[in-house]
């Protein structure tokens, strides 16, 4: 009997504790008011199309945040790697040179693997550097931000490919350079804005330099791509 009572007491105590936890309002955590919304997020009942569309909308919102880097929390809090993966595959495919032209004088443009490795290893190195310098950010959050912030460069690549359709001259080359330079600045600025809070305050210069180098290499790949 004593055990039963003790268990009941413990049980009650536990339940009280659970209730207490539930009442604490944690910023960012789903509150009781949002429970109705949570029920709608039950992916078991909804059609697959809705699930995919919701995820696609979340990815699209993040792309918008990169193009207009004002809200700095959303990308960090709800990170995903879909956007970076899509951008990476897009960049790698667009920059892929034809292997038929590869010979002693020409390597046929950057290879798919090269772009892929630069993208992911570069992002990983930048993240490692931020952590080594004492920044407070999780690994995938940083990868997510760095990956999403390549979007301006992907847009620059599309513009460059359109320009490359016509006959090339120095003016068009200059336009390509300017477009890529703007995209490079935009990418660096956006990623710095998103990661500013997580970087150590007195060492921002040290944390920004690898980011600068990372986007510089990608933007240079974009500019140097001349294959039709």
Partner 1 sequence: MEVIADDESDYEADFNSQSLGGNIDSGPHHMNDPERGQPATDLKGQVTQQVTSMMWQEGSERAKKAFNIYANIDILRPYFDVEPHEVRSRLIQSLIPAFPSAAATQVVPRELYGPTMVVFTLIALLLFQMKTSGHVVQEGTLMGTAFGICFGYWFGIASIMWVLAYVCNTRISMMQLLSLLGYGLFSHCIVLFLGTVWHSSSHASFYMIWAVFGGLSTVKMVSVLTSRTIGRTQRLIVCGTLAFIHLVFLLYLHFAYHRIVEGQRFVNP
Contacts with partner 1 by CB under 8 A lie at 102-107, 110-111, 113-114, 117-118, 125, 128-129, 131-134, 139, 202-203, 205-206, 209-210, 213, 216-217, 220, 224
| Residue with smaller CB distance to partner 1, 7 or 101 | 101
CB 165 within 8 A of CB 100: no
* Shortest distance (Å) from residue 132 CB to partner 1: 4
* Closer residue to partner 1 in complex, CB, 64/102: 102
Nearer Cβ to partner 1, position 49 or 228? 228
Nearest approach in angstroms of CB 7 to partner 1 is 31
CB of 126 to partner 1, least distance (A): 10
Closest-CA residue to 84 (of 132, 159, 141): 141
Smallest gap from Cβ 121 to partner 1, in A, equals 8
**Minimum Å distance from CB 158 to partner 1?**
21
In this complex, which beta carbon is closest to partner 1, that of residue 83 or of residue 110?
A: 110
């Amino acid at each position: 009997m004593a055990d039963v009572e003790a268990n009941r007491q413990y049980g009650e105590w536990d339940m009280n504790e659970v209730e207490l936890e539930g009442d604490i309002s944690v910023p960012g955590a789903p509150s009781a008011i949002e429970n109705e919304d949570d029920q709608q997020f039950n992916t078991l009942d909804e059609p697959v199309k809705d699930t995919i569309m919701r995820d696609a909308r979340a990815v699209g919102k993040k792309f918008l945040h990169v193009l207009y880097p004002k809200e700095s929390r959303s990308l960090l809090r709800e990170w995903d790697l879909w956007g970076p993966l899509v951008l990476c595959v897009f960049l790698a495919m667009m920059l892929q040179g034809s292997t038929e032209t590869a010979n002693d004088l020409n390597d046929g443009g950057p290879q798919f693997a090269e772009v892929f490795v630069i993208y992911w290893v570069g992002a990983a190195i930048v993240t490692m550097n931020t952590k080594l310098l004492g920044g407070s950010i999780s690994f995938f959050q940083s990868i997510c931000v760095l990956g999403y912030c390549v979007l301006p460069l992907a847009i620059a690549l599309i513009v460059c490919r359109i320009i490359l359709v016509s006959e090339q001259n120095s003016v068009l080359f200059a336009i390509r350079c300017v477009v890529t330079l703007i995209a490079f600045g935009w990418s660096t600025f956006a990623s710095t804005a998103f990661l500013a809070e997580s970087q150590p305050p007195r060492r921002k210069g040290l944390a920004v330099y690898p980011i600068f180098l990372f986007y510089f290499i990608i933007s240079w790949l974009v500019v140097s791509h001349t294959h039709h």
